[in-house]
A and B are shown apart, each in its own frame.
Chain A
Amino acid sequence: MDTTITPAQNSKSSYSTVLESSFRAGKFKQLVLDGLHLFYKVFVLPFLIAISGNQTHSCRFHPTCSVYAKDCMKNTNFIFAVFLITWRLLRCNPLFPSTKYFDDAPQMRGSHR
């Protein structure tokens, strides 16, 4: 059964397409995660940028923390995901020795789709 959701790659499609396709596929966990991600992108991140007065921030890792968090929640269980996200946020500073740039969310055995 192929239920993988391909995120819209072309720039013309909007975020609501992603939400719609999750909804149609009946993937509610993914729907909730995408909704939260959207809320973060539309409200929280602009707010952080607005109150900090810094519009540029460069990311130390790829993918960005919000995508990483979403993937962790999707791939692992909640508690481990929270741990991973916290650890990633703590690593995101100049004092931490930089050994990797590409840092994908880990895949848990068994939960692999």
Chain B
Amino acid sequence: MKRNWSIIIALIALLIAYDLFILRPYNQKLAAQKQTEKAVEQKSDTTNNLSAIQNETTKAEASSDNVSMNVVTNEINELKEVETLSLGSKRQVRLMSNGTLVNATFNDYFQRGTAEKIPVEILKDGLSWSSTNPAVQKCLSSLNYKGNLTFSGRFEGITCSLQYQQASEQEGVYSSSLSLSGIKSFEGTVFWQQVARLGEGNRFDFKILDFKLDGETDDLQGDKVFETKVFKGKLDWSSWGDKYFTTIVLPKGKFNPDLAVTPIDGEAVAEGQRRFRIAYQYPLVDLGEQTMVFESDLYIGTKDISVLKSIRKDLVDAVEMGWFSAVGRFMLWCLEELNLLFKNFGWSIIALTVLVRLVFWPLNRKVFESGQKMKDIQPKIEALRKKYGKDRAQMEQLNREMMGLYKTEKVNPMGSCMPLLLQMPIFIGLYGSLSNAIDLYQAPFVWWIEDLSYKDPFYVLPILWTASLLLMMKFTPQPTMNQPGMPDMKKVMFVMYFVFGFMAKDWPSGLCLYLVVSSFLGTFQQFLFRRSQTNLQTVQEGA
């Protein structure tokens, strides 16, 4: 028995060490990075000048020896803001003098992990047109604002013009078109590029490039880009963003771009600091007198499933839901429907839990009953087993006698592992939807829970969960699943409940809420069953 405990204690020590030495340093590094960024943002508020951001960032990065932030966006330094495009009632993006889109700000969502309310901001390094052809590049950099979201430029007979337009009634959707004419040399490519940063937010907010190429959806995780990757084929759409906020480009028109992903900082840069470039490359083609027009739709906004569906049906694939994504979406749908009634996602989660438990209530009860009966006739079963031994030839006879025993003892063989196994997809689906759906981003519940999709700040719910599990254990009779050569289940579960509570500290608090309510209801049902059982016994004894 001592050995069991030593292994269990070693396991817990390992978990704590993992938390202390691997998770903590990483989170601290991210926090430090966030602070420098915050300082930069505060500066930029006062000056409202992009060059200040760039310089400060460079300084901050250099001082924390995290190398090079000076490559791509050199030309952004000299730009001035000419217009603000609205992406919705509280969201906007800045349009710079050469047609670059920069700093999409969401004033209705706030960054996580800080007490202050800092609006979420994406597209910090801009989305702009460039070319590898020198003459075209000169023309593109001479783009000037002509009003009405139109830019035009001219260089040595080449004319280029860029236009943005509100594309649909859906807020945040713009169409963009770049037209080029008068080109003499057709070498190189024209590309629309955006610079992507990694390592913002916490480690659960990793960023993903999702795209649909030749009818197949694929994704590329930002932290796995170490070399240039070019995806050729019919690009339907591509989405770059974290779990909640994204920039989606939907190419349309005659030309179809290649999608190219290139790391900027190389491998030398520390984890969480890497940047790379996502480019939509169009090869220059000789069309004679005709003008080349590169068109695409652009959506900057939240990954709201209904909004994405209204733009294009298959954009739903850009929303990650983890494993069992179908179950996750179903759970989210249930939550949304319940939320129409309760107006608060916390109460909706509780209602959902009650519903799930009600569905399983009869089955659970039957399982309890059958388990109780089986336990009562256990000695008789043992005797049967002893009588027939382990001879397979007699197995049928043994089973026939067993069925006879069922009949005489009025046992209904309702034992099933279904209530146990069916909870797994529900759990995984809820995990996926709660930690990925924008609907639950910063959805508050009562008291201290201000974000149901983020971990509990004071770890109250994980502790409550462990407590409720231990309570449940107290109410449950000794389980008969001990086997020779295997550890004592009761002891194992006692220790594991603490380990699970420890694991749950990083889970979304909405999920912990579900678990707490679910296990309290389970205990309640157990309690009711046992009370009815003792009542039955007293009645029988009285008779």
Contact = CB atoms under 8 A, between A and B. Distances in A.
Question: Are A and B part of the same complex?
Answer: yes
B362 to A, nearest CB: 10
B486 interface: yes
B13 interface: no
B228 interface: no
Nearest to A46: B496
A35 B3 CA distance: 16
B485 A93 contact: no
A102 B398 contact: yes
Contact of A48 (B385, B416, B420, B515): B420
Contacts of A89: 417, 421
Given A56-B477, A98-B413, A17 B371 contact: no
Interface in B98-120: none
A47 B4 contact: no
B481 interface: yes
A101 B402 contact: yes
Interface residues of B, number: 62
Given A8-B484, A64-B481, A102-B399, A93 B418 contact: yes
Interface string B449-487: 000000000000000000001001100110101011111
A55 B522 contact: yes
Contact of A55 (B357, B363, B479, B521): B479
B319 to A, nearest CB: 24
A7 B485 contact: yes
Nearest to A12: B1
A38 B395 contact: no
Contact of B522 (A12, A47, A54, A101): A54
Q: Contact residue range for chain A?
A: 35 or more
Contacts of A45: 489
A57 B519 contact: no
Given A48-B424, A56-B476, A94-B366, A15 B487 contact: yes
A107 B395 CA distance: 13
A65 interface: yes
20 contacts: A15-B485, A16-B4, A41-B492, A46-B493, A46-B497, A48-B420, A50-B496, A51-B515, A53-B515, A54-B419, A56-B476, A56-B477, A57-B371, A58-B416, A60-B413, A92-B416, A94-B416, A98-B403, A100-B395, A101-B403
Given A58-B370, A93-B418, A53 B492 contact: no
A113 B421 CA distance: 34
A9 B485 CA distance: 7
Interface string B29-60: 00000000000000000000000000000000
Nearest to A8: B485
B364 A54 contact: yes
Interface of A: 7-9, 11-18, 37-38, 41-43, 45-62, 64-65, 67, 89, 92-94, 98-102, 104, 107
B403 A52 contact: no
Given A43-B496, A92-B416, A50 B469 contact: yes
B367 to A, nearest CB: 6
Given A56-B476, A100-B399, A104-B392, 13 more contacts: A7-B485, A37-B486, A38-B486, A41-B486, A50-B519, A53-B515, A53-B519, A54-B364, A55-B493, A67-B483, A93-B418, A101-B406, A102-B402
Given A64-B483, A94-B366, A101-B399, A50 B522 contact: no
Nearest to A37: B486
A45 B212 CA distance: 39
Interface string B407-420: 00000011111111
B368 A56 contact: yes
B518 interface: yes
A94 B472 contact: no
A46 to B, nearest CB: 4
Contacts of A48: 420-421, 423-424
